[in-house]
Amino acid sequence: GWAWRIGSSHAHGGYQNPLAAYALSSYADLKPKSATGQADWAKSLDRQLEFYRWLQSDEGAIAGGATNSWAGRYATPPAGKSTFYGMYYDEQPVYHDPPSNQWFGFQAWSMERVAEYYQQTGNAQAKAVLDKWVKWALSKTTINPDGTYQIPSTLQWSGQPDTWNASSPGSNSGLHVTVADYTNDVGVAAAYAKTLSYYAAKSGDTAAKTTAKALLDGMWTNYQDSLGIAAPENRADYNRFDDTVYIPSGWTGTMPNGDAINSSSTFESIRSFYKNDPAWSKIEAYLKGGAVPSFTYHRFWAQADIALAMGSYAELLE
């Protein structure tokens, strides 16, 4: 199944957690009781820090990841593909629609865990990665006079890292990232603010501290409503509601709600329950050529991240 595929052969920069590896290898109450568990986690911590360094672009953002199963079927990778301990660089590990490393949220989530580890330990390798990443992220962040803000949303990648050499890491001068568009997404902004808060608490970086506070104050002032904190989203991607769904030739069936499954099926046709949603008319009109619909979502993960970000800032920096 999916859990096996996503964990069996691919390592994604956004999924790493050096803080967990540190805790599981360093604290007696958390060390596994297996014969090699503690040593395995200690090795994992070292390898994760190397992985971040290997994936760090010339600008500072963290690239996709690595795989030992090219194209998901152990195919032969393109000639000249760089490697990390025998695994091939993969710009978009696991999933490609959309590319798995184009979302800035993975940057914020993953670097938050690096920053937490750095705040706890002062580790020099973590600091080196964070110094470069924070400088890049801050350079792509805009705080407006009214407190609204813009942070990166979609990233575009080119090139590849140098093949990893632990004793003499390359500069990755051929690995580049650009920001294709920006967002005021409150969940991602909260995760980003947490990263900046943990980094600032240990490093004393005033720009990181100031920006973390500005993001949290800005969303509290501008995007608060009766349900929580949320910003309207224009969902141009909802034009894919009528995308055709691949059904093998000769196959037919029925969804649990009675929707027919056949060669004419679309995303929407096998999920007809969407038509019962009070806001369906906005999507229906868009599919017929109307305006891009706007929705305001109060996602649980985002509300939790916001609360944790505010708590972390208060605990660490006030």
**Active centre residues (catalytic):** 146
In the sheet where 65-67 sits, what is the strand order?
A: 10-12, 65-67, 87-90, 83-84
Cβ proximity of 104 and 140 under 8 Å: no
Q: Cα(174)–Cα(292) distance, rounded to whole angstroms?
A: 37
Q: Cα(287)–Cα(244) distance, rounded to whole angstroms?
A: 14
Cβ proximity of 196 and 208 under 8 Å: yes
Task: State the DSSP code for 94.
Answer: S
Q: Cα(307)–Cα(216) distance, rounded to whole angstroms?
A: 10
Q: Which whole-number Å values give the CA distances from 27 to 35, 110, 169, 297, in the listed order?
A: 16, 22, 30, 39
Q: Cα(170)–Cα(82) distance, rounded to whole angstroms?
A: 11
Torsions phi, psi of 171, nearest 5? -85, -10
Q: Cα(88)–Cα(11) distance, rounded to whole angstroms?
A: 10
Torsions phi, psi of 229, nearest 5? -125, 120
The token pair that represents 218 in the structure block: 């800005």
Q: Tell me the H-state helices in 37-171.
A: 37-55, 104-121, 124-139
